[in-house]
A and B are shown apart, each in its own frame.
Chain A
Amino acid sequence: MEPLTIHALHDQLVKGEISSVELTKKYLAHKDAVEPKVQAFLSDNRGYALEAAAIVDKKIAAGESIHDLAGIPGAIKDNICIKGQQATCASKILENFRSPYNATVIEKLMAHDYVSLGKTNLDEFAMGSSTENSAFQVTRNPWNTDYVPGGSSGGSAAAVAAGECVWALGSDTGGSIRQPAAYCGLVGMKPTYGLVSRYGLIAFASSLDQIGPITNDVTDCAIVLNAIAGHDERDSTSIPQGPKDYKQALVNDVKGMKIGIPEEYFSEGLDATCRKALEDAIETYRKLGAEIVPVHMTHTKYGLAAYYIIAPAEASSNLARFDGVGFGMRVPGKDIVDMYQKTRSAGFGPEVKRRILLGTYVLSAGYYDAYYLRAMKVRTLVKRDFDEALKTVDVILTPTAPDTAFKIGQNTDNPLAMYLGDVCTVTLNLTGLPGMSICCGYKDGLPIGMQLISKALGEDTLLRAAYTFEQNRPEFHKRSPMGEVEL
């Protein structure tokens, strides 16, 4: 059975078949039923949600036209600031923090009359690939609750896949939207760096972070992207791009589209079943008239190493502000240095500490050149690979991850093994290019994700390629077992 989508529900709202308040209540009821098993949410917003839904219903009753996204229950990752609400980043150090301001994406969503059911769980400070690094709870994959939903936006992905909401916002620094979307059988997009404002996104790695949609289908992805994309004068890295309607890109046609396949992403680390699913997907594109072209991304394997130098380095600096002085948790100390150390040691989990130490090390005197500077140069080389390849093809197709979701607890003692799973996704953060993950198969009841990559600001090409696949392979557009919402 297909999951409910924003666009289908919008039609129902506008036709008066259901009200936003009714819709929100149904989703809340379903959320209450499945949340004990999924644990996707860190906060419950139902009061605000129903108020916002009521406003939408008033507008509809008054005959006003409403936005595509209006009145349809969603969820927001808990590293995005909403005024007056918590923004914990799933960390003890921010457990009691209430943001005094709204992130730009939230202000944009407010202008679209959005409804959010709550903030979702994540790996602490977005550092992780399984959401197991959350200081508060472990989120489970709705397809099989013994498995991880992926990370770091695992809460957002699980919430959508479990039918607790229709859409969600995540953030992506090394794959944190795409990989959980893949593990949960959803559509996830990391937009071009700079397309969506980072103002109000609690920073992990500033030159890599982006906010993006996690949705049930490609049309919904375009709808959410429409709501959140666009230039922001409060973000200096925001691209000066005017508003664009991404729904125009939803065309079922890839004839003549050139799709590049880089062998470096299909190495021996890729699971056999996943490989088969991807080859099958490639074949679908070929049958639909796309031209399949081999491309070469020779610096791929260095990309992961460069990422794990650059990301922790920026993080070590971004997280220095969590010191017990102005906000967040404070553990008293005999003097300020003691207070800093006690607060940060008690407030941060082991993965966060590990990355801060790594980041500090690679920036420190004597090591900067060998690690950080070198990694920034490797970044240039990785970008060149992509720029060259994207001169000859429109889209690059790769797996989103080397395998499907893994069991909860499987990788917690082996950080390096956890990092290696990011090999297919980190290169997009290094280069700033846009990428999407959509479902292209299943293995033992767990979804397999396919990643599509395009040139900077090439979201329309991505959407067209993804939409075409989705329209022609509807068998991959399934709900998870617990994702059925009764309206």
Chain B
Amino acid sequence: MKISAEEINKIALLSRLEIHEDQVEAVGKQLNDILSYMDLISQVDITDVEPTAHAVSMRNVWREDVPKPSLANDKALQNAPEPEDGYFKVPKVIQD
């Protein structure tokens, strides 16, 4: 399985990570090694096997519609890099 430079750039964008041009090859090689190992699972016969998403067998876990106390505004913003007037401030929002 070979992951192309184009694909690396695509998944980097999807992950919001910057990969500089001169690193793409090195990153690609590491990912390729790992992906080649993962190809091991293509050898397994999975006919009629259901996927497992959870390690527990419970069903129907839920809570009643009862209000609980919220955080005060200052607590909510306590870790915010740029709080302003009770809001979280962010730079120009673009549609990607």
Query: Interface on A for B, CB 8 Å cutoff?
Result: 96-98, 100, 193-194, 207-208, 233, 236-237, 239-240, 299, 301-302, 305-306, 308-309, 316, 320, 323-330, 332-342, 344-345, 348, 353-354, 356-358, 360-362, 364, 370-371, 373-381, 383, 415-416, 419, 429-432
Contacts and interface: CB of A to CB of B under 8 A. Distances in A.
Interface string B3-45: 1000110111011111000000001001101110111111110
Nearest to B47: A377
Contacts of B63: 233
B96 to A, nearest CB: 6
A378 B81 CA distance: 42
Contact of A194 (B16, B52, B56, B88): B56
Contacts of A329: 81
Contacts of B58: 194, 237, 239-240
A336 B94 CA distance: 7
Contacts of B15: 316, 320, 344, 356-357, 360
Contact of B94 (A194, A335, A416): A335
27 contacts: A98-B78, A193-B55, A194-B55, A194-B58, A207-B55, A320-B15, A324-B81, A326-B79, A326-B88, A327-B79, A332-B91, A335-B93, A336-B91, A340-B16, A341-B16, A344-B16, A348-B17, A354-B27, A356-B15, A357-B31, A360-B14, A361-B11, A378-B46, A415-B34, A419-B37, A430-B55, A432-B56
A283 B49 CA distance: 38
Given A337-B96, A356-B17, A357-B17, A305 B78 contact: no
Contacts of A377: 44, 46, 49-52
A239 to B, nearest CB: 6
A339 B90 contact: yes
**Interface SS majority for chain A:** helix
Contacts of B14: 360, 364
Contacts of A302: 40-41, 43-44
A435 B85 CA distance: 50
A436 B14 CA distance: 38
B49 A325 contact: no
Contacts of A432: 55-56
Contacts of B44: 299, 302, 374, 377-378, 381
A330 B92 contact: no
A371 B40 CA distance: 10
Given A323-B16, A360-B15, 9 more contacts: A100-B78, A194-B56, A308-B37, A341-B18, A348-B17, A357-B8, A377-B44, A380-B50, A381-B44
A373 B53 CA distance: 9
A378 B88 CA distance: 43
Contacts of A344: 15-17
Contacts of B80: 326-327
B82 interface: yes
A416 B34 contact: yes
B16 A328 contact: no
A466 B16 CA distance: 46
Contact of A419 (B34, B35, B78): B34
Contacts of A325: 81, 88, 90
B52 A383 contact: yes
B50 A361 contact: no
A206 B66 CA distance: 26
Nearest to B77: A326
A314 B16 CA distance: 16
B54 A207 contact: yes
A316 B11 CA distance: 11
Contacts of B53: 207, 376
A309 B56 contact: no
Nearest to B34: A416
Given A194-B55, A357-B12, A336 B90 contact: yes
B30 A97 contact: no
Contact of A361 (B3, B16, B91, B96): B3
A121 to B, nearest CB: 22
B93 A336 contact: yes
A341 B41 contact: no
Given A332-B91, A336-B92, A336-B93, A308 B38 contact: yes
B31 A333 contact: no
A97 B46 contact: no
A354 B90 contact: no
A8 to B, nearest CB: 35
A113 to B, nearest CB: 26
Contacts of A328: 79, 81
